[in-house]
Amino acid sequence: MQLIANTQQAEAWNGHEGKHWADNADAFDRLNSGFNDDLLRAAAIGTHDRVLDIGCGTGQITRLAAKLATSGETTGIDIAAPMVERARAATAEEGITNAHFQQGDAQVHTFPRRHYDAVVSRGGVMFFADPVTAFSNIGSALRPGGRLAFIVPQQPSPDGESTQVFAPVNTLMKQPSPAQRGMMSLSDPARAQTILAAAGFSEAHATSIEGPIVWGRNIDEAVDFYFSLGPVRFNLEGLPDTVVQQARNQVRASLLPYTYPEGIRLRGAVWLVTATSTAS
């Protein structure tokens, strides 16, 4: 029987937003891949390492880690069944045999103790109801001296490209969607470091990392993808069609200057947080 502490997140991510992410896995990977190299480099994954990916989503980071730990293994865990199912399918399609996936709530999941050499997460550690308990549980799965590396979003800059481009929609965003709640919970590095220290980690550091965020391969794809996002749909639902269409037209015009050979690209920034397990 699965242990679930974050019931609100479980309900949200096993609903429309989780299914939408699973159905559009390639688009979400394009969106987030600009930070993959920094995250994996910080985790310092060795050939024989055992790696745990928290909030693995559709498993891109789990698979990339598996390609580094060629004689080891990787395990991805996520609370969303549709995303875990897609992760397993993609892993089988790529012929990767040392990456495995579990559906579960990492805050209370029973991990093997002192089993993993590294824990990674590309934004999957932000939604815990009790982050100290969650990181303590995750830390118990790391061997002493094991490495933790994760990325979380920074607070949006008023002058940032995303803030400027999506301003017409930002004014219509009244509240976070159910799956989005808690997204900025670790955006203050000092708070993240305090939580990790309370959870039994040492040497916690936060580094600001900039990277490309690719919204689509072309302008039409980028606009359609942005307006399909759960938080956007949640806030625009019920508004007059004329208001939504005006926002689409404004976003489209704002995105045009950011057209590059690889697609529609904005600059973004995240915190890369690293720490060391002191579990005994």
d(CA 2, CA 12): 17
Tokens of 39: 């995250």
Tokens of 89: 């399918």
Q: One digit per residue, pLDDT tens: the chain, 280 residues?
A: 578 888 989 999 999 899 999 999 999 999 999 999 999 999 999 999 999 999 999 999 999 999 999 999 999 999 999 999 999 999 999 999 999 999 999 999 999 999 999 999 999 999 999 999 999 999 999 999 999 999 999 999 999 999 999 999 999 998 888 888 888 999 999 999 999 999 999 999 999 999 999 999 999 999 999 999 999 999 999 999 999 999 999 999 999 999 999 999 999 999 999 999 986 5
d(CA 238, CA 240): 7
pTM: 0.95
Q: What's the length of the chain?
A: 280
Instruction: Tally DSSP H helices, then E strands, for the chain.
Output: 13, 8
**What are the structural domains, with CATH classification, of the chain?**
7-156+178-217+268-277 (3.40.50.150)
